[in-house]
Amino acid sequence: MMALPVSGGGDGGGGTIADAVSGLVVLYCAIRLVRDRRRPLSRTAAVVFALPVVGIALAAAGAASPGAGITGLVRYLQIFVLVPAAVMLLIRDRRDARLVAWSLIGLALWQGAIGVHQYATGTGASYMGEEIRAVGTFGATDVMGMATVVSFGVVCALGLALGAGPGRQRTVAALCSLALLLPLALSFSRGAWIATAVTCGAQLALAGMRRAVKVFAVAVAASVILVGGLGVGTAMLQERISSITQVADAPDQSVTDRYTMWAAAIDMWRDQPLTGVGLKGFPDHRDGNASLALSSGSDTEGAGAGFKRQPLLSPHNMYLLVLSEQGLLGLLALAGSWLALLVCGLRRLFAARRRAPLGLDCALVACGLLTWQLVDFAYADIGGPSTALTAVLFGLGAWWALASEEAGDR
């Protein structure tokens, strides 16, 4: 469903087909559990998934209106509890996990191909006055959508390539990871670049330093050919890359807006340190806590849509969004569950390297996706049509981290 064009312009104002399908997945999983009459979760998994529920429920009770509380409660439970738990329970073995990974790669290749075509034909989202930004089917109002999907594809492909699977599978996965670097670059998404670079570096280090050096050399050579040899977006890419180092010295308006909203989120937390201002409460309290440096919104245009002024309704930092709306209790509960998944996943990864190398590819994929998301959350938050994939990501990570030892070894 994520491969289909987003209806309604992709403004994130309502549910998508992918959200509806994720609900059906949860329902199907519940029916299977009742039919099979088996205990759904281990004690550790139950604790990890129950932690976020506490903070989310408290924040929903403190929402400005019952409607906002219920909407926020359902959304958070969908992304961080229900769908991840269903995905974890429905994945039976490594074959299923690889199927999910290859599905993400296939989706990334599809969206990336559309994005490259948008750049080549000038039919993408507007960037610096030109409609060249690759956004895939997500539209100009969700410029992070394609970048997120392609990043997931790169991480999955690299994990499969670094594993101990069949040589043909590893070769195809390596070629896919290299091919996806082009649409990732043409997304002009600094956040996706940073998260992908950090994650791929971590995957290479976890797979072994000797292999890391070889893959790094290939990636550098591919980058030189794409950017230096073929001249793929050279000037704009160089300017965008150099702007990463200027976020403190000479930030552009988008970075200034982000800093301003971060400061506003912290001020909201100071007013309500334990429970926050309530779910969906950031937009209502933004103007009362933000400085005059905040602009009224961001301009979006292109990719089949006309000019639109998109309001800034979140701090674009998941940790600060949770802190402002759910307080310290909510942040510790939600981020604690994410950290528990990553720690448990890394522990099993090291165990797989010693005794079951055939499962290393699944470990690298699962831990890589978790790492990417936790890094990306430092300058992005949930919202938009691509959010449903975040739930699948956490589900795959939970399968590796919390499923029984037998399931991970099969």
Give the 3-state DSSP-derived string for 209-236, with helices as H, strands as E and coil as C: HHHHHHHHHHHHHHHHHHHHHCCCCHHH
With a cut of 70, say whether residue 11 has pLDDT above it: no
**Between residues 405 and 256, the one the model is more confident about:** 256
Residue 127's H or E segment, with its range, is: strand 125-127
Tokens, residue 3? 């491969």
With a cut of 90, say whether residue 218 has pLDDT above it: no
Predicted local distance difference test score (pLDDT) of residue 83: 96
With a cut of 80, say whether residue 248 has pLDDT above it: no
Tokens, residue 6? 């987003």
Q: How far apart are CA 12 and CA 154, in angstroms?
A: 25
With a cut of 70, say whether residue 64 has pLDDT above it: yes
- Residue whose structure tokens are 């959010």: 387
Q: How far apart are CA 97 and CA 401, in angstroms?
A: 12
Tokens, residue 198? 């950090």
Question: Would you put residue 304 in left (φ > 0), alpha (ψ -120 to 50) or beta?
Answer: left
Q: How far apart are CA 187 and CA 386, in angstroms?
A: 15
Q: How far apart are CA 57 and CA 69, in angstroms?
A: 9
Distances (CA, A) of 247 to 1, 130, 181, 241: 36, 23, 24, 11
Q: How far apart are CA 324 and CA 319, in angstroms?
A: 9
Predicted local distance difference test score (pLDDT) of residue 253: 72
pLDDT digits (tens, 9 = 90+) for 140-183: 888 889 999 999 999 999 999 988 778 888 999 999 998 999 99
With a cut of 80, say whether residue 212 has pLDDT above it: no
Query: Is pTM, for the whole model, over 0.95?
Result: no
With a cut of 50, say whether residue 10 has pLDDT above it: no
The closest of 200, 204, 186, 199 to 241, measured between CA atoms, is 186
The closest of 308, 310, 262 to 286, measured between CA atoms, is 262
Q: How far apart are CA 53 and CA 50, in angstroms?
A: 5
Predicted local distance difference test score (pLDDT) of residue 31: 93
Predicted local distance difference test score (pLDDT) of residue 228: 57
Distances (CA, A) of 277 to 195, 280, 284: 29, 8, 9
Predicted local distance difference test score (pLDDT) of residue 247: 57
Q: How confident is the model at residue 405 (pLDDT cuts 50, 70, 90)?
A: low
Tokens, residue 30? 């519940």
Q: How far apart are CA 384 and CA 97, in angstroms?
A: 25
Amino acid at 37: R
Q: How far apart are CA 107 and CA 274, in angstroms?
A: 40
Q: With H, G, I as helix, E, B as strand and everything else as coil, classify residue 167.
A: helix
Measured over the CA atoms of residue 16, residue 22, residue 27 and residue 28, the dihedral's sign is positive
DSSP conformation letters of 256-325: HHHHHHHHHHHHHHHHSTTT-S-TT-HHHHHHHH--TT--S-EEEEETTEEEEEE---S-S-HHHHHHHH
Burial class (CB in 10 A: 0-12, 13-18, 19+), 263: middle
Tokens, residue 225? 């050919």
